[in-house]
Amino acid sequence: MTYTFDDVAVVMGTYNEAEAIEHVLTDIEAVTDGRAAVVCVDGSSDRTPDVAREHGARVIEQEPQGYGVAVREAVLAPDRPVVVTTDCDDTYPMERLPDFLDAINEGYDVVSGDRLSRGAETMPRFNRLGNQAFALGASLLAGRRLSDTTTGMRAYRKEVIDEVTWTENTGLSAELLLRPVMRGYRVKEIKIEYRERRGETTLDPLSGGAEIAGSIVRVAAEERLRQLSSGVSRASGRSV
């Protein structure tokens, strides 16, 4: 089964992104020939949802409750077999969507856009160091080198999204990578460029960073326990 952009939904949380959304949606349309479905889970008080609707996106309104609450709703919403997440701040290269789809068609379950290996010089320095530290910590806990655990641009087979219970908010991006990696799904990182943000960030680097660190530790611990208990049940199954 080879997927095309008719099988893809591009989803995002949107919170007062009037400065950026036009660029993001225009890029998606151009790259996918208007074939990808677009879903915006929106908590804005500005024109963002109007622009989204003008571009034919489905808008789900939601009180602003943080990144992960919006993105969880966004990834669960589409009825298409491939779901791509992005931010609505014009930082991620929509022109790389074909590469993400190609990797899914090669058989990967999750394809993650790694910003850090190419330097991510447009990222604020504090955030870059933090994101490198998260990737290193998550790699140690997961037992596999991961280059960028907090990226917003990924493609997922919808089955993976539906099979896992997602619990994190600011740390959802890390969770969306770590649980599939630790459950043995086929996960690939591909290097991407990262552009300067349009408009203001919603994430406070200190409190947001602390939340992400907590998510990584909690999620990795839960997944390790899950591995151990399924190992135990497999072992006892064999001995019966």
Ligand X SMILES: Nc1nc2c(ncn2[C@@H]2O[C@H](COP(=O)(O)OP(=O)(O)O)[C@@H](O)[C@H]2O)c(=O)[nH]1
Residues that bind ligand X (CB under 6 A): 12-15, 17, 41-43, 62, 64-67, 70, 87-89, 152, 201-203
The distance of closest approach from Cβ of residue 123 to ligand X in the complex, given in angstroms and rounded to an integer, is 9
**How many residues appear in the chain?**
240
Specify the DSSP element, H or E, that contains 135.
helix 125-142
Between 13 and 137, name the residue whose CB sits nearer to ligand X.
13
Asked whether 13 and 71 are in contact (CB, 8 A), the reply is: yes
17 is an interface residue for Mg ion by CB under 5 A: no
The distance of closest approach from Cβ of residue 211 to ligand X in the complex, given in angstroms and rounded to an integer, is 11
Largest CA distance in the chain: 63
Between 62 and 227, name the residue whose CB sits nearer to Mg ion.
62
90 is an interface residue for Mg ion by CB under 5 A: no
Structure tokens at 84: 């791509």
- Judged by CB under 5 A, the residue of 17, 22, 89, 211 near Mg ion is 89
164: left (phi over 0), alpha (psi -120 to 50) or beta: beta
Asked whether 37 and 8 are in contact (CB, 8 A), the reply is: yes
Q: Which residue's CB comes closest to ligand X?
A: 13
The distance of closest approach from Cβ of residue 86 to Mg ion in the complex, given in angstroms and rounded to an integer, is 9
Between 108 and 173, name the residue whose CB sits nearer to Mg ion.
173
The distance of closest approach from Cβ of residue 194 to ligand X in the complex, given in angstroms and rounded to an integer, is 10
114 is an interface residue for Mg ion by CB under 5 A: no
CA distance 83 to 159: 10
Between 65 and 230, name the residue whose CB sits nearer to ligand X.
65
41 binds, among Mg ion, ligand X, none (CB under 5 to 8 A by kind): ligand X
Specify the DSSP element, H or E, that contains 35.
none
Asked whether 121 and 195 are in contact (CB, 8 A), the reply is: no
Identify which of 133, 153, 130, 152 has the alpha carbon closest to the alpha carbon of residue 208. 130
109 is an interface residue for Mg ion by CB under 5 A: no
Identify which of 137, 178, 136 has the alpha carbon closest to the alpha carbon of residue 154. 178
The distance of closest approach from Cβ of residue 124 to Mg ion in the complex, given in angstroms and rounded to an integer, is 11
Residues that bind Mg ion (CB under 5 A): 87, 89
